[in-house]
């Protein structure tokens, strides 16, 4: 679930470009492996659409408009999520300490396993990103990197599934400089 | 609860100005949202009154004079707090590792949920502030920022309540440089 | 258990030399104290054999070739490990956030006590090494240094066992610069 | 309990002077408040006596010679400690990751509350001091500073007990630069 990486919010976020790029990267791998991808947008009339890089890379993702900071506080979204049957949710987006945090806490309270995608979560202030991560991991979420998730999805290095993912995704990430 | 931000203690505290300003900021928002605010003062005959910026911004706050380092060790304060029915307490003040820490531990032991307002808690030595935060979070407290608290109080971005808080409070904090 | 310190993987790892040297050091002490040592190798046809320094220092170690990133996901390895009766496993190797991490999580889930040998575990990016360590310790593993392990094996400073270990192993490590 | 701050070990320890001075400071306050103080010495025939500053400041402390790295693994010491009836043990000394760590783990396993006196615990390498602290706090110990302990012993700021402690101890520590 990619939270609120919207065009009018991103310019004030410390680490916005990396968050968008890495969210798009893991989102595209997810779709390739048939893992559903959701995009949320906070009050898009004011904060704009999701970043064009996301909309282009993830044209099959489901988009949700919301007014609650915590996405799971939206009763329709919460119901549809429960119906889709997944119990593990990978979160990324902005701002770490507001919408991503409240979404994480809502999901944890509802019994989901929450994975905090460290390099694709950002706030205006990096210290508030860190504080949000400390808080959600204390509350039971697991901080991960996109590489961790990818290799856990793939499980083993033999077979065509791994080879395709390696060629199309994993190799490119290896060479990218990333800030955590 | 704003602990012991008093005029004769503040000059030796590393981060005193920020602690006073951010405590005043969140305290004023709290009063605006009808959340009660308490100020404690350790031995005010010796350490002076609370900082004038707090007394001015929070003229509706309740003030307590105390001799125990841990505010909750004062039996009258503890009884009145229990009677007021709130179970979630946001703590800030000085010194992090003495009065704020002992207050936090006392509240946790009494069954309260304790929130540690990171940017408004300080000691003479920054390392002792950090150590106190590590200790209380291990003991069950939750480290938060003022922005986290504000957006959790507000819950959603539609409606006049949010608009007023955004105009009067949230916008100003966004632009402020803060050290965590 | 020394995970995947292989010749074609090591050149891209940040901290590879230290990981190999310290793994060899603790592995040799382990063999001297009759603690079994295992080496795993991920797809050795592609990633090469374990580093020659390991193969030389640990010629009595058992070697396993594998295709699962998590060594414990290999059913034969898992069965033999269970049969050998040890419940405490010390892990080191590369990459921290892929094969070492997945091995650690698999072992924890199977009920083993997992010890994360901090100075001998590495990834391409140091930040992913740290994130992996935070994740496994949250999941119940214990982060240790080789010195900790050695002195816990030895228990006391009288007797020939300690004197031999001190002369042959402990003294040399004291003087070595190490990065954690 | 002050672990192994001995004359022939201290020269190789990073932070030895501060560890000795702060251990002596809190030890002297403890004796003043009738809290018992113990000194252990690892193989004093080889590593020498406790530092002279400790022996002078803490002439009423009990001294123990030992061969186990973990003091609580010494059966006589363990029995006498149990008999003295205290359940809270404050630990300091060297090396953090060997004797202090093993003592802490032994005490925790035996059901004691263990307090890790951060600024008075040291190893050759600072990183191993940090790793030891992370390990014991994960295992249930509480990291504290000497100031925390002192103000928790004193509880309140009225009365002669506090005034004497403030004049003789607390004031001097305020002004000292400390590294944590």
pLDDT of res. B38: 98
* pLDDT for the residue numbered C113: 98
The confidence score (pLDDT) of residue C148 equals: 98
Which residue among D69, D125, D135 places its CB closest to the CB of C151? D69
Q: Which residues contact C57 (CB under 8 A, 6 or more apart)?
A: C24, C25, C27, C28
Mean pLDDT along residues B61-71: 98
Taking the alpha carbons of C19, C146, C133, D180 in that order, is the dihedral positive or negative?
A: negative
- Flag whether the pTM goes above 0.80: yes
- Minimal-distance CA residue of chain B relative to A134: B143
Q: Cβ contact (<8 Å) for A135 and B151?
A: no
DSSP state of D47: H
Summarised one tens digit per residue, pLDDT across range D161-174 is: 999 999 999 999 99
DSSP 8-class letter at D24: H
C124–A180 C-beta distance less than 8 A: no
Q: Write out pLDDT tens, residues A137-162.
A: 999 999 999 999 999 999 999 999 99
Q: How far, in Å, CA of D3 to CA of D69, rounded? A: 10
Phi, psi of C90 (to 5 degrees): -95, 125
Q: Are D97 and C156 in contact (CB < 8 Å)?
A: no
Interface of C with A (CB under 8 A): 12, 42-43, 67-70, 73, 97-98, 101-102, 124-125, 127-128, 130-132, 134-135, 138-139
pLDDT in the model for residue C25 = 98
- Res B127: pLDDT: 97
| CB neighbours of residue B177 within 10 Å | 6
Q: B interface toward A at CB cutoff 8 Å?
A: 118, 137, 142-145, 147-148, 151-152, 154-158, 174, 178-180
Question: What is the Cα–Cα distance from A53 to C55, expressed in whole angstroms?
Answer: 48
Q: Considering only CA atoms, which of C160, C174, C2, C153 is closest in space to residue C90?
A: C2
Instruction: Determine, for residues D148 and B128 on separate chains, whether the beta-carbon distance falls below 8 Å.
Output: yes
What pLDDT, in 10s, does the model give residues A81-124?
999 999 999 999 999 999 999 999 999 999 999 999 999 999 99
Express each pLDDT in B96-146 by its tens digit: 999 999 999 999 999 999 999 999 999 999 999 999 999 999 999 999 999
For residues A92 and A3, give the distance between their C-alpha atoms in angstroms, rounded to a whole number: 6
pLDDT at D54: 98
d(CA C103, CA C81): 13
Closest among A73, A70, A68, A107 to A90, alpha carbons compared: A107
- Which of C114, C157, C167 to probe the D interface (max D CBs under 10 A)? C157
pLDDT (average), residues A7-36? 98
User: Which residues in chain B touch residue D178, judged by CB atoms under 8 angstroms apart?
Assistant: 125, 127
The answer, yes or no, to whether the previous bond of B88 is cis (omega within 30 of 0) is no
| Contact call for A and C: 3+ CB–CB distances under 8 Å | yes
Predicted confidence at residue A165, as pLDDT, reads 98
Q: Which residues pair with C42 in a beta bridge?
A: C66
Non-local (6+) Cβ contacts of A12 within 8 A are A124, B174
Q: Name subunits touching D (3+ CB pairs < 8 A).
A: B, C
| pLDDT tens digit sequence for C45-103 | 999 999 999 999 999 999 999 999 999 999 999 999 999 999 999 999 999 999 999 99
Q: Report the mean per-residue pLDDT for chain C.
A: 97
Rounded CA-CA distance B129/B131 in Å is 6
What is the helix (H) or strand (E) element at residue C31, kind and residue range? helix C16-32
pLDDT value of position D28: 98
* CA–CA gap between residue C61 and residue C31 (Å, rounded): 8
pLDDT for C11 equals 97
Q: Which secondary structure element, helix H or strand E, spans residue B122, and what is its range?
A: strand B113-122
Q: Would strands B2-3 and A88-94 be described as parallel, antiparallel, or unpaired?
A: unpaired
Pairing mode of beta strands C88-94, C62-66: unpaired
Where are any strands of DSSP class E within C21-139? 38-42, 62-66, 88-94, 113-122
Half-sphere exposure of A118 (CA within 13 A, CB side): 23
Instruction: State how far the Cα of C10 lies from the Cα of C69, in Å rounded to an integer.
Output: 16
Cβ <8 Å between D42 and C157: yes
pLDDT digits (tens, 9 = 90+) for C6-54: 999 999 999 999 999 999 999 999 999 999 999 999 999 999 999 999 9
Distance, CA of D172 to CA of A108 (rounded, Å): 47
Residue A156: closest CA among chain C residues belongs to which residue? C68
DSSP 8-state symbol, D73: G
CB contact under 8 A, A157 and C132: no
Facing residue for C155 by CB, picked from D12, D73, D138: D73
Sorted by where each begins, the domain ranges of chain B are: 2-173
Residues 6 or more apart in contact with residue B75 via CB below 8 angstroms: none
Quick check: D2 and D40 in contact, CB under 8 A? yes
B2-173: what CATH class? Answer: alpha beta
Q: Which two tokens stand for residue D168?
A: 């003789």
Q: SS3 for B50?
A: strand
Subunits in contact with chain A (3 or more CB pairs closer than 8 Å): B, C
Å between B168 CA and nearest CA of chain D: 38
Q: Pairing between strand C88-94 and C2-3?
A: parallel
Is A75 strand, coil or helix? helix
Residues D154/D161, Cβ–Cβ less than 8 Å: yes
Distance CA C80, CA C97 (A): 25
Q: CA torsion sign, B40 to B42 to B48 to B51?
A: negative
Tell me what pLDDT residue A74 has: 98
CB contact at 8 A, C64 and C38? yes
Tell me the chain D residues in contact with residue C154 when contact means C-beta distances shorter than 8 Å: 69
DSSP characters over A98-133: IIIHHHHHHHHHTT-EEEEEEEEEE-SSHHHHHHHH
Q: How far apart are CA D103 and CA D68, in angstroms?
A: 9
Provide ipTM, 2 decimals. 0.96
Residue C7 burial by Cβ neighbours in a 10 Å radius (0-12, 13-18, 19+): middle
Write down how long chain D is.
180
Smallest Cβ–Cβ distance between C128 and the set A137, A145, A156 belongs to: A145
- Judging contacts by C-beta atoms under 8 Å, the chain B residues touching residue D154 are 69
Interface of A with B (CB under 8 A): 12, 42-43, 67-70, 73, 97-98, 101-102, 124-125, 127-128, 130-132, 134-135, 138-139
Angle between helices A146-154 and C126-138 (to 10 degrees): 70
Task: Supply the mean pLDDT for chain D.
Answer: 97
For residues D101 and C148, is the Cβ–Cβ distance under 8 A? Answer: yes
Q: Quick one: A114 exposed, middle or buried, by C-beta within 10 A (0-12, 13-18, 19+)?
A: buried
State the Cα–Cα distance between residues B138 and D131, nearest whole angstrom.
17
Question: Which pLDDT does position A11 carry in this prediction?
Answer: 97
Question: What is the pLDDT of chain A when averaged over all its residues?
Answer: 97
Rounded CA-CA distance D15/D19 in Å is 6
Report the first-to-last Cα separation within chain B, whole angstroms. Answer: 19
- pLDDT, residue C9, reads 97
Structure tokens at D81: 């400690």
- pLDDT computed for residue A82 by the predictor: 98
Q: If you search the block for the tokens 């509706």, which residue do you land on? A: B60
- The sign of the dihedral angle between the CA atoms of C142, C143, C148, C154 is positive
Measure B6 CA to nearest chain D CA, in Å.
Answer: 15
Which chain C residues are Cβ-neighbours of A180 within 8 angstroms?
Answer: 125, 127-128, 130-131
Q: What is the three-state SS of A2-70?
A: EECCECCCHHHCCCHHHHHHHHHHHHHHHHHCCCCCEEEEECHHHHCCECHHHHHHCCCCEEEEECECC
């Amino acid at each position: 679930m990619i939270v609120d990486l919207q065009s009018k919010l991103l310019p004030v976020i410390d680490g916005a470009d990396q968050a968008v790029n890495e969210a798009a990267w893991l989102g595209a791998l997810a779709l390739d492996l048939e893992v559903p991808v959701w995009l949320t947008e906070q009050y898009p009339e004011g904060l704009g659409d999701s970043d064009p890089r996301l909309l282009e890379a993830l044209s099959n993702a489901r988009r949700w408009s919301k007014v609650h900071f915590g996405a799971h506080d939206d009763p329709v979204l919460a119901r549809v999520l429960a119906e889709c049957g997944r119990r593990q949710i990978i979160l990324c987006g902005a701002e770490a300490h507001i919408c991503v945090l409240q979404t994480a806490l809502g999901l944890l309270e509802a019994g989901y396993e929450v994975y905090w995608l460290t390099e694709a979560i950002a706030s205006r202030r990096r210290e508030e990103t860190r504080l949000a991560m400390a808080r959600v991991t204390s509350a039971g979420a697991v901080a991960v990197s996109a590489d961790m998730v990818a290799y856990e999805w793939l499980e083993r290095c033999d077979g065509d599934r791994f080879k395709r993912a390696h060629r199309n995704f994993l190799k490119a990430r290896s060479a990218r400089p990333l800030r955590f």
